[in-house]
Structure 1
């Protein structure tokens, strides 16, 4: 992926974001919450680092949950249409993961990594060329 801005948002347009710079990771997460949230075997994210790397317009609703690592995740979604747009991490406030499917140009997503691979469902095929971490990325 290039070092340009990526834009995206929810299905109804009430939430929009601009992510500046190159993502630090492009991944499929196979943790239990990501599977449940997506309704399938994984969720796909582009991860951006730095305060202000992802600028949001609109006001999302959020919910918090302790992830598989025990760290708190803050999931954001549109209060109108329910589309999940991004995730923040309480222990790492400068990290924002945007849902790859919420990109205006989702074809820009090129995953290189799977996280929580030990929790993968057999029926959720993943490209064997992707690097796989048994658990989450190091803090």
Structure 2
């Protein structure tokens, strides 16, 4: 499975919602949000499923058909890339934590990052 995106992400964040916790099996998901127009599937076809996110919107979760790794989520205008699926995730620099109202009490969040209890408007 291969994908690419062009340009700078619109947002970079750590999402602490219960959906992301379930998807990752951990405390949060690190995500790059890119415009759909800048995203391309290069090789393979992911498996996917739809769900109603904590925001109330329907989102499609895409994962590797071979290994099950989360790859990206997609809505109408944006693709939410899971940072762990990048070839080099070391360059990720989150700008904020969202859905902190759902954060686990044992999760240490970077105190320097802005926090939002839900999805920012």
Range into which the TM-score falls when normalised by the shorter chain: over 0.9
- 3-state DSSP class of the match of 1:76? strand
Question: Residues 60-139 of structure 1 correspond to what in structure 2 (within 5 A)?
Answer: 60-89=46-75, 93-138=76-121
* Count of aligned pairs: 120
After superposition, the Cα gap between the structure-2 partners of 1:49 and 1:78, relative to the gap in structure 1 and judged at 3 Å, is: same
How far the C-alpha of 1:94 sits from its partner, in A, is 1.9
- 3-state DSSP class of the match of 2:55? coil
TM-score (structure 1 length as normaliser): 0.83
CA root-mean-square deviation: 0.9
Larger helix percent: 2
How far the C-alpha of 1:124 sits from its partner, in A, is 1.0
Gaps of 5+ in 2: none
Runs of 4+ in 1 over 4 A off after TM superposition: none
Aligned partners of 1:41 and 1:129: how far apart in 2?
A: 18
